[in-house]
Amino acid sequence: MNIDLSRRGFLRLAGAGVAATSLGAMGFGDAQAAEEAHVRPFKLATTTETRNTCPYCSVACGVIMYSRGDAKAGDKAQILHIEGDADHPTNRGTLCPKGAALKDFVNAETRLTRPRYRAAGGTEWQDISWDDALTKIARALKDDRDANFVAQNEAGTTVNRWLTTGFLAASATTNETAWLTYKVVRSMGILGFDNQARV
Ligand code: SF4
Q: Which residues pair with 83 in a beta bridge?
A: 64
pLDDT value of residue 1: 47
Is 59 a pocket residue for ligand 1 (Cβ < 6 Å)? yes
pLDDT value of residue 172: 80
Is 102 a pocket residue for ligand 1 (Cβ < 6 Å)? no
State how far Cα 93 lies from the chain centre.
13
Q: According to CATH, what is the number of the domain 48-106?
A: 3.30.200.210
Domain with CATH 3.30.200.210 in the chain: 48-106
CA of 72 to the centre of ligand 1 (A): 31
Distance (Å, whole) CA 156 – CA 133:
38
pTM beyond cutoff 0.85: no
CA of 100 to the centre of ligand 1 (A): 8
pLDDT value of residue 61: 94
Is 60 a pocket residue for ligand 1 (Cβ < 6 Å)? yes
Is 57 a pocket residue for ligand 1 (Cβ < 6 Å)? yes
Q: Which residues of the chain have pLDDT under 50?
A: 1, 20
Is 54 a pocket residue for ligand 1 (Cβ < 6 Å)? yes
State how far Cα 37 lies from the chain centre.
36
Name the strands in the sheet holding 62-68, side by side, starting at the edge strand that comes first in the sequence.
48-53, 62-68, 78-84
pLDDT value of residue 92: 96
Q: Sign of the CA dihedral 106, 108, 113, 115? A: negative
pLDDT value of residue 11: 57
Ligand 1, atom 4, lies closest to the CA of 61
Q: Which residues pair with 50 in a beta bridge?
A: 65
Distance (Å, whole) CA 12 – CA 1:
20
Instruction: Pick the atom of ligand 1 nearest to 99's CA.
Output: 1
Instruction: Pick the atom of ligand 1 nearest to 172's CA.
Output: 5
